[in-house]
Amino acid sequence: MATILELEDLTVDFPINIGTVQAVQAVNLKLKRGEVMGLVGESGCGKSTLGFSILRLLRPPGRIVKGRILYHGQDIVQMSEKEVLGLRGNKIAMIFQDPLTSLNPLFRIDQQFTETLFTHEKGLKKRAAFSRAAHMLESLGISPERLLEYPHQMSGGMRQRIMIGMGLILNPDLLIADEPTTSLDVIVEAQFLDLLDALRNQFNLTIILITHNLGNVAQLADRITVMYGGNIMEVGPAGAIFANPLHPYTQGLLSSIPNIKLDQPKLETMPGSPPDLVNPPPGCVFHPRCPRAMDICKCEKPKATEKDGRLVSCRLYG
């Protein structure tokens, strides 16, 4: 499969009063057309920052310090604001965590769809725009009549579907879903993931699924990228990572998931806390919590090493 997106040495900082938050540190990543990449890790590890960086949606004082974001070979970092505006929605779309805050409460659903269409397609007639919005709602399992309703009149699951529809209305290549199931109950969450999988096949979508919910990743993702402290720990096929995680952090992350099929008298936990990204530890960012840390881990940052068809940043394999 062709590479649709490539991150090269991407580094993102947030200068603040007490120092600089090193949110994303020298990330290298490739995304193939048609695949679902699960981006997982603890809260504050840099997942959402990475997603926002791809569309240059970082809020000040966030800034891309160095690196490249190549979409079909074109560097988004070097694009003008006008070029990036043409890319958002048309080629790369994003679903945000809370649809109730993302949708405008003062406008009907049809007005929010047509605003998106009119912004990107000059000269489009109002009737044609309404028809396209109605067709999109039908494909999402929602009656077109509900286009005339306001966001507060819909359930959380329906609002999330509306957000998907607004993301797909312009037929983008790449969809970034940032914690899309956070506000949903488990039943609606399962329905949402089934819908996302169906839309992936229907629209030939490439998806980055940003989440801390490893169950969602197991259900939907082809490959998994594990982040910790702004760094990538491990990248590989979803099945292989769940069956045999290599990095000690990935092992700890998976062992902390309750499993009703296994006899677990005690829930596994990882000692310590996530790192202070204003003053991250030297060497491997995970070494203060790693049960297998060596002396070299405390002073020298590991390089990504290929092992069993995966990339893992750990001295155990370097």
- pLDDT at residue 221 in the model: 95
Rounded mean pLDDT of 217-224?
93
User: Mean per-residue pLDDT for 179-185?
Assistant: 79
Q: What's the pLDDT score for residue 65? A: 96
Answer whether residue 293 is part of any domain: yes
Q: Are residues 63 and 125 in the same domain?
A: no
Residue 221 makes CB contacts below 8 A (sequence gap 6+) with 36, 37, 38, 209, 238
Residues 105 and 57 grouped into a single domain: no
Averaged pLDDT, 95-107? 84
3-state secondary structure of 173: coil
Q: Does one domain contain both 296 and 220?
A: yes
Q: Which residue has the tokens 């990095």?
A: 247
With respect to residue 117, please indicate whether it lies within any of the assigned structural domains. yes
- Domain annotation covers residue 166: yes
Residue 69 is assigned to a structural domain of this protein: yes
- The whole domain housing 134 covers 101-171
Task: Indicate if 240 and 293 belong to the same structural domain.
Answer: yes
Q: Is residue 96 part of a domain?
A: no
Largest CA distance in the chain: 68
The verdict on 108 and 81 lying in the same domain is no
Identify whether residues 234 and 305 lie together within a single domain.
yes
- The pLDDT score that the predictor gives to residue 1 is 72
Structure confidence at residue 187 (pLDDT): 82
Does residue 72 have a pLDDT over 70? Answer: yes
pTM of the model: 0.92
State the total domains in the chain.
Answer: 2
- Per-residue pLDDT band at 260 (split at 50, 70, 90): low
Reply yes or no on whether the pLDDT at 76 is more than 80: yes
Q: Are residues 65 and 181 in the same domain?
A: yes
318 domain-assigned: no
pLDDT of residue 189: 83
Instruction: Round to whole Å and give the CA distance between 226 and 215.
Output: 14
Which CATH number characterizes residue 288's domain?
A: 3.40.50.300
Distance (Å, whole) CA 102 – CA 123: 26
Of 130, 150, 171, at which residue does a domain stop?
A: 171
Same domain flag for 183 and 299: yes
Choose the final residue of a domain: 146, 171, 196.
171
Give yes or no for a contact between 245 and 234, defined as CB atoms under 8 angstroms apart. yes
Torsions phi, psi of 217, nearest 5? -65, -40
Q: 143 and 185: one domain?
A: no
227 and 194 share one domain: yes
Q: What sections of the chain are H helices per DSSP? A: 47-54, 81-87, 99-102, 109-120, 126-139, 156-168, 186-203, 214-220, 238-243, 248-255
What is the pLDDT, as a whole number, of residue 263?
A: 64
18 and 110 belong to one structural domain: no
Q: Do both 156 and 210 map to the same domain?
A: no
Chain segment 77-89, per-residue pLDDT in tens: 999 999 999 899 8
Q: In this predicted model, what pLDDT tens digit does every residue of 236-249 receive, in sequence order?
A: 999 999 999 999 99
Task: Confirm whether 208 is domain-assigned.
Answer: yes
